[in-house]
């Protein structure tokens, strides 16, 4: 069975995790992945970029699998995270729109993918038919050897004519359950700024690996308590919690994500966090109701969306809402096994802090050394 041979090849290369959003042309492959690897089931492709980044920094070897149309959703994350920090990312993409394609909407973007990737200097290998199977291994090896993204575009022709030993059955968990939420919260006028909250958390850190959101939050954490175990994001909007999730799946350290309401409203990762349920992950939602780094424009959380309720609806059960420093310290000290979601209600505003004087590779290298126990806490 060709799907099994592909998975054998990935296993032989040391791959331990596959983050995947399925394509109907690779449905048998998708059904077999959980039998061989840790399978992280995505709901949006670019979340897989962040998850794979976290896995890579923690020493795991992952592959991102998607339909090629998902590359359009993922390109900014690939360039601003994977390329900027020099991280490995092998992508196996089912290449739609060019071979016996019956869906017109698949054609316009997908037919241009090789040229798009070439313009961005992202390596791309086309895998056309079964004689090209070895190229799949070449894609994975190059991504890890060269510390860069590499896309393998697999034509549907590759899977045609494969001998079927037996149909692949998709196994579903039982859906019988009770879903009941009794929820009432009062929002007070905020007492803290984001910088107040970050300084309180920074003072309490004790060996946790921390991922902080892009822009001013990263600079505020650097100013409050620079540590080797801080991963400062420099771009890639919405990827803080995906990176933290990837880290938590591949390390025994406690992992803390300092994310924002705007970022979390723009991602689809919270249900994935709930499904993976890493006990060592805490997501701190620093909710100032604004896109703080771009001029404090209001987000939907400023007067409507309740970020704690959003986390509960996604399936995260350990949640709380805090609205002053005492409540934040208490929530931090009393957090148990996760995943935890701490919703911190804040007023808008940015501290006057300087830029982070570290190059992306320096941030990555010292963070990875510290994760291995070779850096300063």
Give the pLDDT band (50/70/90) at residue 377. very low
pLDDT tens digit string along 106-132?
Answer: 999 999 999 999 999 999 999 999 999
What is the pLDDT averaged over residues 167-194?
A: 86
Do 356 and 224 reside in the same domain of the chain?
A: yes
Calculate helix-pair angle for 134-146, 2-12, nearest 10 degrees.
Answer: 30
Instruction: From 101, 133, 159, give the residue that closes a domain.
Output: 159
Residues 302 and 223 in one domain: yes
| Mean pLDDT score of the chain | 94
pLDDT in tens, 263-315: 999 999 999 999 999 999 999 999 999 898 888 898 999 988 999 999 999 99
Mean pLDDT, to the nearest integer, of 34-38?
95
132 SS3 class: helix
Tell me, yes or no, whether 309 lies in a domain: yes
**Pair (261, 331) in one structural domain:** yes
Note down the domain range covering 125.
2-159
Residue in the block written with tokens 């320096």: 362
Please indicate, yes or no, whether residues 222 and 107 belong to a single structural domain of this protein: no
Determine the pLDDT at residue 168. 66
* pLDDT at residue number 375: 45
The whole-number average pLDDT for the span 37-64 is 97
The number of distinct structural domains making up the chain is: 2
pLDDT value of position 184: 93
Tell me whether residue 123 is in a domain.
yes
Q: pLDDT band for 251, please (50, 70, 90 cuts).
A: very high
Q: Which of 135, 159, 183 is the last residue of a domain?
A: 159
137 and 261 inside one domain: no
376 has pLDDT over 50: no
Domain containing 118 — which CATH number?
Answer: 3.40.50.970
Residue 31: its pLDDT value, please?
A: 92
Select from 159, 179, 210 the last residue of a domain: 159
Which pLDDT does position 294 carry in this prediction? Answer: 86
| 115 and 252 assigned to the same domain | no
**Residue 164 predicted with pLDDT over 90:** no
Q: Where are the beta strands (DSSP E) in the chain?
A: 17-20, 38-41, 62-67, 89-94, 124-127, 149-154, 209-212, 230-232, 255-260, 281-287, 290-291, 297-298, 318-322, 340-345
The reply to whether 261 and 363 lie within a common domain is: yes
62 and 202 together in one domain: no
Do 325 and 199 form a contact (C-beta atoms < 8 A)? no
| pLDDT for residue 14 is more than 60 | yes
């Amino acid at each position: 069975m060709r799907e099994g041979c592909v998975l054998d090849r990935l296993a032989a290369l040391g791959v331990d995790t596959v983050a995947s959003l399925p394509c109907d042309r690779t449905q048998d492959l998708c059904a077999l992945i959980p039998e061989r690897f840790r399978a992280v089931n995505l709901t949006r492709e670019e979340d897989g970029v962040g998850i794979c980044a976290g896995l890579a920094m923690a020493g795991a070897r992952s592959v991102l699998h998607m339909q090629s149309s998902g590359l359009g959703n993922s390109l900014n994350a690939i360039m601003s995270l994977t390329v900027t920090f020099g991280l490995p990312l092998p992508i196996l993409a089912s290449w739609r729109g060019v071979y016996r394609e019956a869906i017109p909407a698949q054609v316009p973007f997908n037919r241009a993918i090789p040229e798009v990737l070439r313009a961005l200097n992202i390596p791309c290998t086309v895998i056309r038919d079964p004689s090209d199977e070895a190229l799949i291994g070449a894609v994975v090896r190059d991504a890890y050897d060269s510390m860069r993204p590499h896309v393998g575009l697999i034509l549907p022709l590759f899977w045609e004519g494969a001998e079927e030993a037996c149909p692949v059955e998709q196994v579903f968990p039982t859906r019988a359950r009770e879903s009941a939420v009794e929820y009432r919260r009062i929002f007070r006028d905020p007492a803290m700024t984001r910088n107040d909250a970050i300084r309180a958390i920074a003072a309490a850190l004790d060996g946790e690996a921390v991922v902080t959101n892009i822009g001013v939050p990263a600079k505020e954490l650097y100013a409050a308590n620079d540590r080797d175990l801080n991963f400062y994001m420099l771009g890639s909007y919405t990827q803080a919690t995906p990176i933290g999730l990837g880290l938590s799946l591949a390390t025994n350290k406690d992992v803390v994500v300092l994310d924002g309401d705007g970022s979390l409203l723009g991602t689809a990762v919270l249900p994935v966090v709930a499904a993976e349920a890493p006990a060592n992950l805490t997501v701190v939602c620093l909710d100032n109701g604004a896109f703080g780094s771009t001029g404090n424009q209001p987000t939907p959380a400023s007067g409507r969306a309740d970020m704690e309720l959003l986390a509960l609806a996604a399936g995260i059960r350990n949640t709380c809402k805090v609205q002053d420093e005492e409540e934040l310290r208490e929530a931090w000290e009393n957090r148990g096994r996760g995943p935890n979601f701490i919703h911190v209600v804040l007023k808008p505003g940015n501290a006057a802090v300087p830029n982070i004087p570290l190059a992306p590779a320096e941030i990555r290298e010292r963070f990875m050394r510290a994760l291995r126990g070779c850096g300063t806490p």
